C-alpha cells in the first residue's frame, strides 16, 4: 500500500518505520527540526523490546499535497493539531482511501454513524468551530485505539518502548474487507491488530486510562510504574476512573472492568513516560481538550457530576500555563 503518516512523531514514527520495513511505500508528514532530521538522515527506530535499531529512508514533507494520493492515511497528530490539518489532507484521498486516526482521547468522529440520539453531534471541546465533519468525509475513517508506547528522544529518532497492540473498528460496527486489509498490513508489520466489534467501547477503555493517568503524570512527573506504585496517587486515579465510568455507562458503554483492573492494564506499560508528561517537558500544548475536557462536556450534557475530574483538569491546565524551570 501507499501509506502517509501525518504526524511522524512517537506513535506515527513507529507505525511508519514498521510499515516501511514490511514493504509498504511510506511517506511522512512532519515539521521543524524533526522534518530536517528525517530528510537529512532518515527515520531511526530503536526497538527496546527487540533490542534493535534501524534507519529508514522515507519521503518526508511538511506539505501533505506533496505526497500524492494514498491507500492509507494514518493521523498520528496531537488532538489539538488535527482540526487545521484536515482540509490539507484532501490531496491524499481517493475514493477508497482509508483514514486511521491513531490519536489519544475521544475522537472528533465519535458520533459519526453512532446510531444514537447524538448522531452527528460535534463536541465543543473537540471541534470548537464545528467544521471537522465537513473538512474530512468520515466515510474514510476507521477508528483506532493505540496500546503501545513510544518517544521521540532526538529529532529523527523514535524509540518504541513497550506494547504492540492496535485495536481497529468501523464506526458503524461492521466487519468488512477494508478493515481486514488494514489489520492484515499492521499484523504483517509486527503489530498485534485486533478487529473490534464496537470500537467505541475500546475508545472508552483507553480513554479511562488517559483521563486519569495522563494529567496525573503531568502534575507529578511520575512514569507509569511510579504512579502504579504510589497508593495515595492511585486513590486519585480510581476516583477519576469511577467518574469516567459513570459517564461512559450513561452513553451506552458500561465498563466491563473495575478501576483496579484498568490500573492493572496500565501496569503492563512498565516505566513508560506518559505522552502528556513528554509534552509538558518539551513545552508543547497538552491534550487536555480531547482527553479530559471532552469527558467533562459529555458529563455536563448528561447531568453527571464529575468533581474530582474537574479538579484534576483545573490543576493540569494551571500546570500547562506555568513553564517548567530551566
C-alpha cell at 179: 478493515
DSSP 31-50: -HHHHHHHHHH-EEEEETTT
How far, in Å, are 32, 122, 172 from residue 281 at the CA level? 18, 31, 38
C-alpha cell at 299: 458529563
The pLDDT value recorded for residue 289 is 97
The pLDDT value recorded for residue 65 is 97
How far, in Å, are 152, 162, 173, 291 from residue 149 at the CA level? 11, 5, 26, 17
Indicate the fold that domain 201-321 takes in CATH. 1.10.1040
The pLDDT value recorded for residue 324 is 67
Verify whether residue 322 is a known catalytic residue.
no
The pLDDT value recorded for residue 269 is 81
Element at 173 (helix H, strand E): none
| Domain 2-197, CATH homologous superfamily name and number | NAD(P)-binding Rossmann-like Domain (3.40.50.720)
pLDDT tens across 26-41, in order? 999 999 999 999 999 9
Domain ranges of the chain: 2-197, 201-321
Quick check: do 2-197 and 201-321 share a fold?
no
Choose among 183, 169, 25: nearest CA to 107.
169
Name residues whose C-beta falls within 8 Å of residue 55's C-beta, 6 or more positions apart in sequence: 41, 42, 43, 44, 45
pLDDT averaged per 10 residues, the chain (length 326): 97 97 98 96 93 95 97 95 96 98 96 93 95 96 94 95 94 96 98 97 96 97 96 98 98 95 90 90 94 98 98 97 70
The pLDDT value recorded for residue 323 is 66
Active-site annotation holder among 206, 273, 310, 322: 206
pTM (whole model) above 0.85: yes
Amino acid at each position: 500500500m501507499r501509506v502517509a503518516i501525518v504526524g511522524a512523531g512517537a506513535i506515527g514514527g513507529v507505525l511508519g518505520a514498521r510499515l516501511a520495513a514490511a514493504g509498504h511505500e511510506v511517506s511522512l508528514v512532519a515539521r521543524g527540526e524533526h522534518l530536517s532530521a528525517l530528510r537529512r538522515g532518515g527515520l531511526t527506530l530503536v526497538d527496546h523490546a527487540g533490542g534493535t535499531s534501524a534507519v529508514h529512508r522515507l519521503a518526508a514533507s511538511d506539505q501533505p499535497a506533496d505526497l500524492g494520493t494514498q491507500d492509507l492515511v494514518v493521523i498520528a497528530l496531537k488532538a489539538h493539531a488535527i482540526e487545521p490539518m484536515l482540509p490539507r489532507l484532501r490531496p491524499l484521498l481517493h475514493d477508497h482511501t482509508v483514514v486511521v486516526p491513531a490519536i489519544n482521547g475521544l475522537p472528533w468522529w465519535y458520533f459519526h454513524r453512532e446510531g444514537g440520539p447524538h448522531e452527528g453531534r460535534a463536541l465543543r471541546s473537540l471541534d470548537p468551530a464545528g467544521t471537522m465533519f465537513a473538512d474530512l468525509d468520515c466515510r474514510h475513517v476507521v477508528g483506532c485505539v493505540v496500546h503501545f508506547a513510544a518517544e521521540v528522544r532526538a529529532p529523527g529518532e523514535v524509540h518504541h518502548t513497550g506494547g504492540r497492540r492496535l485495536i481497529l473498528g468501523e464506526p458503524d460496527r461492521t466487519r468488512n474487507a477494508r478493515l481486514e486489509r488494514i489489520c492484515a498490513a499492521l499484523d504483517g508489520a509486527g503489530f498485534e491488530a485486533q478487529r473490534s466489534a464496537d470500537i467505541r467501547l475500546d475508545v472508552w477503555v483507553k480513554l479511562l486510562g488517559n483521563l486519569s493517568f495522563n494529567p496525573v503524570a503531568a502534575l507529578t512527573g511520575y512514569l507509569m510504574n511510579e504512579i502504579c506504585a504510589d497508593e495515595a496517587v492511585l486513590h486519585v486515579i480510581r476516583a477519576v476512573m469511577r467518574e469516567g465510568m459513570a459517564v461512559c455507562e450513561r452513553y451506552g458503554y458500561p465498563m466491563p472492568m473495575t478501576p483496579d483492573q484498568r490500573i492493572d492494564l496500565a501496569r503492563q506499560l512498565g516505566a513508560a513516560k506518559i505522552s502528556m508528561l513528554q509534552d509538558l517537558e518539551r513545552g508543547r500544548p497538552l491534550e487536555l481538550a480531547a482527553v479530559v475536557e471532552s469527558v467533562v462536556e459529555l458529563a455536563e450534557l448528561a447531568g453527571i457530576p464529575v468533581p474530582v475530574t474537574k479538579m484534576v483538569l483545573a490543576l493540569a491546565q494551571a500546570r500547562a500555563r506555568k513553564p517548567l524551570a530551566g
